[in-house]
Structure 1
Amino acid sequence: MKQAHDTDPPDPARAAGLDDLTARLRLLKAWAGDPSLGVITARINRARARAGLPAHEATSKSTVAGYFSPGRKRLDEDLFTAIVTALHPARGYAARWRAALRAVRQEATAAALFVDVRGHLPDQAGALLGRQAELARIARWAARPDPRHGAVVAVEGMAGVGKTSLALAAARQALAAGHPAGHHLYVDLRGVDAERGPVDVAVVLGEFLRLLGVAGDRVPAGAAARSAAYQRITRQQPVLVVLDNAADEASAAALLPGGEHCLTLVTSRRQLRGLPQRRRIQLAGLDPADAVALLRAVAGPARVDAEPVAAAQLARLCGYLPLALAVSGARLREHPELSVADHAEHRQELGPCDEVEAALALSVRGLPPPVAGTLRLLGIAPVAGFTPAAAAALSGVDPDTARRHLAELRQANLLHDGDPGRLHDVVRAFAGGQARRLDPPSRRRAARRRLFEHYRHAAAAAMDLLVPQGSHPRPAGEPPGGDVVHGSRAGALAWLDRERPHLVAVVRQAVETGEPEHGWQLALCLWRYFFAGRYVEEWLLTHEIALGAARAAGERGVVGQLLVGLGSAQASAGRAEAAIELYTAAATALREVGDRLNEARAVANLGTALLRLSRFAPARARYREAIALFRDLGDDAGLALQLGNLGGVAGICGEHRRAAAAFEESLALCRLAGAGYGEVRALIGLGGACRELGDGTAADRHLHAALRLSEAQGLRNEQAEALVELARLRVREGDAAAAVRLSARALDIARSLGDPNLLGTASIWAAAARCAAGRPDTAVALLRDAVRLGAETANRLLVAYAYGELGRAAALAGDEAEADRCRVLAGELSVELGVPVTG
């Protein structure tokens, strides 16, 4: 087998898509001597076993083979980089492939994150006319649900046929008939959006969980975990779900609830024959009489009754499609000078074209030019919903004028009711096409620029309320479209939650349309919001898009700041190795441009990422470097945090007096600087150090103070850590019952947050509490979970602690062979890491 190389390994950076990237992976395999798939798989599994991953979670040769095949729609990031490492383990090389994978997925992911999810049924314009037979069938089916998913009804048909209207009417009919749903969920799956493509089901599941009462910081990461939580919740409480515009069976099936008493209505232009347990309605145009009745309801009875023959002709020319009929009826209502026959004749003059497009063309022709111009600009905006302020910014008018324009578009049935108003996907595509034909590029660019500025101002105002002392960018000048007044912290958070998909879309479009500064400034503004809500997908995506733009523009300082944000996002996702690469690059870039404050933050974060990987000496060195930088800058809050981090390393290494001294200095500085978060961190560390030094009274005082402050500040991660340390103190004091209660609370919080390192730590000490209470049999599963979590995140200290407690649990259960095995593993890791691992 060839081992020497005369050329450099393949460069993944210029891959044009997933197929191109897998082609380059095949080149890398050839460059590495063309090892067999069995050899590659064995290398991956050996590396994972060394990290402590259980044997039953090893990858298979067939799974690895799939990564070399063209036509894949998805590649798991961690397995992909594991394959690269197995082929070429040079430091930093796999990180380049990870970045390339993200880059080729970026455009699709940006669109997939743009999702319209609501916790209520959207408004309907007037009552549904016709469709009584269909409504009756749905009512019968709803009364006979399936035990697994409840009643599932698919409404299928062409654009403009009224699928959504029927689904919403059926949903309201079910509720009026007493359906027990306590929550009403709606999502536009955007299955026919050629520009943006279907939404990401994992994002929808995350939003559904939030609407079902799961706090943002408790939504688990990953589609599988979110699906499991969604199924569990909907088995316990009935829900009514409307899945609008499904692309295919798979996207809809993933969102079906899990309870017998749930009702799901799915709409699609495709036939969903493979949807589990579904009943199906194939929707066609209205009956001729119902079509005329719809014209009559919209245009007015007198207009239509005066010209019954022309009304019947117009209904036929509209293809009996409700959307075309509603738009035509609105035009008749708004233009009393036109007869029904005039409108029908105008329609015929357009010649052969889509019925809905013809109706839209005639309706737009009848709008005042400024209103038609606003509609065209709405069609090119990256957002789906339009408040008066957003529409004002886009159109370059004042908010009152924008409000009147939106009202006229609602009157013309071109904009859905509600605040914000929304365009039907057919109307949006038509308006965007009109803008590209009729508006010069300069007008479209100016409109987008004003919209970007609007969102930057509004986002900064929201972050000012959430993080008053934050360093997020604040745009200069007056906001186009007027100020967005959030009113309170709760109002700011509600605005951010509602506008989150729009904010992601704005970052993307700003970069794509030549306004990159708006993109990176908005991304930098939002990272604390993404962090607090655990919106890791949005965090990674906005920063990756912005980073590419900043690099292309040669903005080294901005590049450094974005690298810090990306590193923190990767750390939040449990990818410490990736975070280290990013923080290192960030520190270098920021040092080069003389941004010492952000350099200090990058260095400090680098220390924390190294600590996560149990690299204690390098972590200690980075913390000391950060301490020196913060001292020189006179930044007491930053200095205090890093003193606390240094104390944490000392505690892990068994240097408890040194740890206590560092935490005491940190605590004093935090109180002087008013740094509430740092104060909580220092109190937790000081409490743990006092426990190890035998001062239980001081430990109890500090830890209870930390618990009170973390609860008051909403710091759930720190709540869990304080509870863990208190549980360990109770074990030390011999109060096993209290330890079990405290550790159970910590474990609940850790599970809700989804941070693998916190969950592993909470699992270990919950298991230790159970062992102390004489229940080692209930501790083993928790400890095996901790081993797995430590292996997955390369946290060898976590694995060592888990094996140490596993040895204790096995000995208590009378399994001396297993106890000896686990003690040996823990001892080997203790020697390798150079730290004690006893609890």
Structure 2
Amino acid sequence: MKQAYDTDPPDPARAASLDELTAQLRLLKAWAGDPSLGVITTRINRVRADAGLPAHESTRKSTVAGYFSPGRKRLDEDLFTAIVAALHPASGYPARWRAALRAVRQESTTAALFVDIRDHLPEVGTLVGRQAELAQITGWAARPDPQHGTVVAIEGMAGVGKTSLALAAARHLPAAGQPAVHRLYVDLRGVDAERGPVDVTAVLGEFLRLLGVRGDGVPAGPQARAEAYRRITRRQPVLVVLDNAPDEASVTALLPAGPHSLTLVTSRRQLPGLHRRIQLTGLDPADAVTLLRTIAGPGRVDAEPAAAAQLARLCGHLPLALAVSGAQLREHPELSLADHAEHRQELGPADEVEASLALSVRGLPPAVAATWRLLGISAVAGFTPAAAAALADTDPDTARRHLAELRQANLLQDGDPQRLHDVVRAFADSQARRLDPPSRRRAARHRLFEHYRHAAAAAMDLLAPQDHHPRPAGPPPGGDVVHTSPAEALAWLDRERPHLVAIIRQAVETGEPEHAWQLCLCLWRYFFAGRYIEQWLLTHEIALGAARAAGARGIEGQLLVSLGSAQASAGRAEAAIELYTAAATALREVGDRSNEARAVANLGTALLRLSRFAPARTRYLEAIDLFRELGDDAGLALQLGNLGGVAGICGDHPRAAAAFEESLAICRVVGAGYGEIRALIGLGSARRELGDQTGARQYLHAALQLSEAQGLRNEQAEALVELARLRVREGDPDEAVELSTQALDIARALGDPNLLGTASTWAAAAHCATGRPDVSVALLRDAIRLGTETANRLLVAYAYRELCRAATLTGDEAEADRCQDRARELSVELGVPVPWPSPAERCSDVRT
């Protein structure tokens, strides 16, 4: 490639936004001699063809052209990197652009890490007045919109009581006869200057989990999540509180469907697109005094009515300021209202809420005030006594008393864990920066990081005992967090997940990256099991950047392995291949053979996902050698099973059976339950293809029983699919339909496109065998779409083969010929047999 001039190519790391990154891409095009878009497209398609991509899936010039235009909101990672490689394929250079794209995305989507969602409503503070507003909301709820039910926006300045009104209405309306099956609350953080608003896609994912969707069944994309949310809420009325909304767009995406749901939105901004709006201002003077009277005590306020009115006015009649002042009066009976008002006036023209906070903090015991300030510097949103103890360098009992005093002073909100109001948090942070030296703040954060690392490792020890979860040296700050069972450990992780990922970010930002990467390596299996893909990717990318900056090559390799698994779980096999390859290189350099073996094995599986069978087999053989060398029998058994899978796909069923038998024997000796199930499924499939129907049935039933007992839903679905194929072969298509329908239900719940496509293909074969080609055609169209989207060409080939059979039964000979030709064309391209006749051979004569 001829460069236009002898300078270094553009550095993508300079870009801080997508527009800046596309500007750098235009510079790279000029630097590379300004090749035409047609030349660039040809280079991309040549590389992809060499990798086995069929011609009909090649990239268009118009698509490539769009990547050089400003104003794009989204860039496909693989195509973006391919464009860079077409312009400058130097080793490592395209990977730098991929990393830059992820970094730019991270700036706008890091908020997804810190979603704090609850399936119950937070405690309501003291609500005084607002009867007219409550009546207005109740009236609107009686006249719902048929599309989204009742949607009410409550707008107003900080401290005016928006959240208290929304939560009071949320509690009042179900009692008034408004149905709600679920109650959901989320702080959208529209005014959080440090972290920014939360990511709506992440909120939808959490909402779906709280509405009963299994973690591994939550769809990956925003549109799929929104559709699932609307589908569920259309049949299940929900009550949703969207607190601190940043704008109308974020609200619109989270509106439930159907006429019976209720959504209450709070925002400091005006939301004119929402037609039912309440503009909240300070309380009426009489209601403001009543609120003081309720909190400080009627005797105190009634004795000094003029001073009470003056204090209410100085608080701007704002509920938050009044609540803080009232709590200070209650805790300090020696202080008269007149004195308090005078102190407040001495502060001058300060913000009403901040002035009240300053007076309240002034009345705290020094140790309690110090704890409060340290709460403000932490990235976590809520505080247990143990976490507070770690921050304050005290014991949990003392921290519990401090939290109680802060709650009494209305400086902490009720809940489990207890939380700081966003205004109070900002003030606490500013006071800590003013009063606490940097060394004290650093030490407090360090103790909190260690606290969470100890607690997370203890939880993962119960959930994944096969892994090693290192802890910091010494006893855990704040005391041990004891998990008595795996279920309790999982509940703790689910509850603390927003805090754990916030800690990862803060650890990097404050110069203690080892806590970030150790937490990532501890938690990856939890992210995997729960399908928390966004949090998995973003936390690990944050930690990866820190590891690279620190020159921690071994840690970098381990994080790359985990990131590859995250990309594979998201259906992005090309990205996974790049990450696993880089991981294997890094781990080989530092002599970490065990993790290198993991990287190589996972690389084989990613290649297999893309129907690259020969390279996958090579990687599996390499991994087998590594695991043998290490004496890791469990890892060896899994890779023997993977090798058997490749052999079966390529039609070498005797070799597949032998590999699965060796894998099964090892698994039963070492007690590797997951590997045993995988080997049983593979062995059942191989025995079926070898004509041993009895043996196949025994192995597959054993796999089904074990996967059900261990809750391995993916393996359960695979066993059901293989049993369905067996029953078609044995002449019982009705049972095959029943089995494949069960597999389809599981696959849909899990949301794995490869599993869903496979289940759809063999469910179609079963329906075809019962004489229902109409049902088969719909399933097979879905399978072809899914296989195409995930580049699983083998799945597409099998689906076309079955579609040929269905078309034959419907009398559409031209369609049958087309599908047969396409199936055989793919079979030749892949270099593997797509055997004829089909497993659905009993439904019609075989076309040859």
TM range (shorter): over 0.9
* Conserved? CA contact 1:830–1:837, under 8 Å: yes
Q: Which runs of 5 or more residues in structure 1 are unaligned?
A: none
Pick aligned residue for 2:447 from 430, 447, 450: 450
Q: What is the CA-CA distance between 1:782 and the residue it aligns to?
A: 2.4
* Conserved? CA contact 1:759–1:786, under 8 Å: yes
Q: Aligned pair count? A: 834
Alignment partners' CA distance in 2, 1:119 and 1:459: 23
Alignment partners' CA distance in 1, 2:46 and 2:229: 35
TM alignment of 1:534-573, pairs within 5 A: 534-573=531-570
Alignment partners' CA distance in 1, 2:470 and 2:677: 27
What is the TM-score normalised by the length of structure 2? 0.94
Alignment partners' CA distance in 2, 1:749 and 1:668: 29
The residue number in structure 2 matching 1:635 is 632
TM alignment of 1:465-484, pairs within 5 A: 465-484=462-481
TM alignment of 1:238-317, pairs within 5 A: 238-275=237-274, 278-317=275-314
* Conserved? CA contact 2:113–2:539, under 8 Å: no
Alignment partners' CA distance in 1, 2:47 and 2:140: 53
Alignment partners' CA distance in 2, 1:781 and 1:93: 44
The residue number in structure 2 matching 1:408 is 405
- Please list the CA deviations of residues 534-590 of structure 1 after superposition, one character each: whole Å capped at 9, or x if unmatched: 111111111111111112222221111111111111111111111111111211221
Pick aligned residue for 2:669 from 672, 683, 693: 672
- Does the residue aligned with 2:519 lie in a helix, a strand or coil? helix
- Does the residue aligned with 1:734 lie in a helix, a strand or coil? coil
Q: What is the CA-CA distance between 1:431 and the residue it aligns to?
A: 0.6
Which residue type is aligned with residue 249 of structure 2? A
Alignment partners' CA distance in 2, 1:413 and 1:216: 36
The residue number in structure 2 matching 1:211 is 210
Alignment partners' CA distance in 2, 1:179 and 1:829: 57
Alignment partners' CA distance in 1, 2:59 and 2:7: 33
Which residue type is aligned with residue 313 of structure 2? R
The residue number in structure 2 matching 1:100 is 100
Percent of aligned positions with the same letter in both sequences?
A: 83
* Conserved? CA contact 2:4–2:30, under 8 Å: no
- Does the residue aligned with 2:276 lie in a helix, a strand or coil? strand
Deviates most, 649-658 or 468-477: 468-477
* Conserved? CA contact 1:216–1:534, under 8 Å: yes
- Please list the CA deviations of residues 36-93 of structure 1 after superposition, one character each: whole Å capped at 9, or x if unmatched: 77887899899999957999x99895x7666444455554545544654676678875
The residue number in structure 2 matching 1:601 is 598
- Does the residue aligned with 2:154 lie in a helix, a strand or coil? strand
Which residue type is aligned with residue 505 of structure 1? A
The residue number in structure 1 matching 2:232 is 233
Q: What is the CA-CA distance between 1:2 and the residue it aligns to?
A: 8.9
The residue number in structure 1 matching 2:846 is none
Q: Does 1:580 align with 2:577?
A: yes
Q: What is the CA-CA distance between 1:280 and the residue it aligns to?
A: 0.7
- Does the residue aligned with 1:113 lie in a helix, a strand or coil? helix
The residue number in structure 1 matching 2:152 is 153
* Conserved? CA contact 1:806–1:819, under 8 Å: yes
Which residue type is aligned with residue 829 of structure 1? L
TM alignment of 1:269-418, pairs within 5 A: 269-275=268-274, 278-418=275-415
Q: What is the CA-CA distance between 1:98 and the residue it aligns to?
A: 2.3
Q: What is the CA-CA distance between 1:806 and the residue it aligns to?
A: 2.2
Q: What is the CA-CA distance between 1:492 and the residue it aligns to?
A: 0.6
Alignment partners' CA distance in 2, 1:504 and 1:827: 48
- Please list the CA deviations of residues 239-294 of structure 1 after superposition, one character each: whole Å capped at 9, or x if unmatched: 1110000000000110000111001100001111123xx41101010000000000
> Relative to 1, partners in 2 of residues 1:328 and 1:78: Cα closer, same or farther, differing over 3 Å?
farther
* Conserved? CA contact 1:52–1:799, under 8 Å: no
- Does the residue aligned with 1:187 lie in a helix, a strand or coil? strand
Q: Does 1:130 align with 2:129?
A: yes
The residue number in structure 1 matching 2:120 is 120
Deviates most, 66-75 or 115-124: 66-75
* Conserved? CA contact 1:112–1:196, under 8 Å: no
Alignment partners' CA distance in 1, 2:318 and 2:41: 56
- Does the residue aligned with 2:413 lie in a helix, a strand or coil? coil
TM alignment of 1:753-772, pairs within 5 A: 753-772=750-769
Q: Which runs of 5 or more residues in structure 2 are unaligned?
A: 839-848
Alignment partners' CA distance in 2, 1:787 and 1:564: 30
- Does the residue aligned with 2:186 lie in a helix, a strand or coil? strand
* Conserved? CA contact 1:378–1:391, under 8 Å: yes
Deviates most, 655-664 or 757-766: 757-766
Q: What is the CA-CA distance between 1:112 and the residue it aligns to?
A: 3.2
Alignment partners' CA distance in 2, 1:107 and 1:184: 31
Alignment partners' CA distance in 2, 1:109 and 1:448: 24
- Does the residue aligned with 1:525 lie in a helix, a strand or coil? helix
Q: What is the CA-CA distance between 1:178 and the residue it aligns to?
A: 2.0
Pick aligned residue for 1:722 from 711, 719, 722: 719
* Conserved? CA contact 1:574–1:793, under 8 Å: yes
TM alignment of 1:421-440, pairs within 5 A: 421-440=418-437
Deviates most, 463-472 or 169-178: 463-472
The residue number in structure 1 matching 2:647 is 650
Alignment partners' CA distance in 2, 1:212 and 1:338: 50
Deviates most, 106-115 or 605-614: 106-115
* Conserved? CA contact 2:37–2:61, under 8 Å: no
Alignment partners' CA distance in 2, 1:584 and 1:38: 30
* Conserved? CA contact 2:390–2:447, under 8 Å: yes
Pick aligned residue for 2:490 from 483, 489, 493: 493
- Does the residue aligned with 1:190 lie in a helix, a strand or coil? coil
TM alignment of 1:694-705, pairs within 5 A: 694-705=691-702
Which residue type is aligned with residue 265 of structure 1? L
Q: Does 1:504 align with 2:498?
A: no
The residue number in structure 1 matching 2:140 is 141
Deviates most, 293-302 or 772-781: 772-781
Alignment partners' CA distance in 2, 1:41 and 1:615: 23
What is the TM-score normalised by the length of structure 1? 0.95
Which residue type is aligned with residue 225 of structure 2? R
* Conserved? CA contact 1:2–1:33, under 8 Å: yes
- Does the residue aligned with 1:779 lie in a helix, a strand or coil? helix
Alignment partners' CA distance in 2, 1:284 and 1:249: 21
Pick aligned residue for 2:782 from 758, 765, 785: 785
> Relative to 1, partners in 2 of residues 1:806 and 1:6: Cα closer, same or farther, differing over 3 Å?
farther
- Does the residue aligned with 2:415 lie in a helix, a strand or coil? coil
Which residue type is aligned with residue 467 of structure 1? A
Q: What is the CA-CA distance between 1:107 and the residue it aligns to?
A: 3.9
* Conserved? CA contact 2:653–2:689, under 8 Å: yes
* Conserved? CA contact 1:112–1:197, under 8 Å: no
The residue number in structure 2 matching 1:191 is 190
* Conserved? CA contact 1:286–1:322, under 8 Å: yes
Which residue type is aligned with residue 444 of structure 1? R
Q: What is the CA-CA distance between 1:472 and the residue it aligns to?
A: 3.1
* Conserved? CA contact 1:54–1:788, under 8 Å: no
Q: What is the CA-CA distance between 1:104 and the residue it aligns to?
A: 2.1
- Does the residue aligned with 1:199 lie in a helix, a strand or coil? coil
Alignment partners' CA distance in 1, 2:642 and 2:321: 64
Alignment partners' CA distance in 2, 1:630 and 1:782: 40
Q: What is the CA-CA distance between 1:167 and the residue it aligns to?
A: 0.5
TM alignment of 1:73-84, pairs within 5 A: 74-78=74-78, 80-81=80-81, 84=84
Q: What is the CA-CA distance between 1:786 and the residue it aligns to?
A: 2.2
- Please list the CA deviations of residues 382-439 of structure 1 after superposition, one character each: whole Å capped at 9, or x if unmatched: 1000000000001111001100110011001010011100000000111111111111
> Relative to 1, partners in 2 of residues 1:65 and 1:386: Cα closer, same or farther, differing over 3 Å?
farther
Q: Does 1:620 align with 2:620?
A: no
* Conserved? CA contact 1:111–1:505, under 8 Å: no
- Please list the CA deviations of residues 1-50 of structure 1 after superposition, one character each: whole Å capped at 9, or x if unmatched: 99988666544244333332121122234345656778878998999999
Which residue type is aligned with residue 26 of structure 1? R
Alignment partners' CA distance in 2, 1:777 and 1:629: 49
Alignment partners' CA distance in 2, 1:556 and 1:524: 14
- Please list the CA deviations of residues 597-643 of structure 1 after superposition, one character each: whole Å capped at 9, or x if unmatched: 11111111111111111121111111111111111221111111111
> Relative to 1, partners in 2 of residues 1:334 and 1:750: Cα closer, same or farther, differing over 3 Å?
same
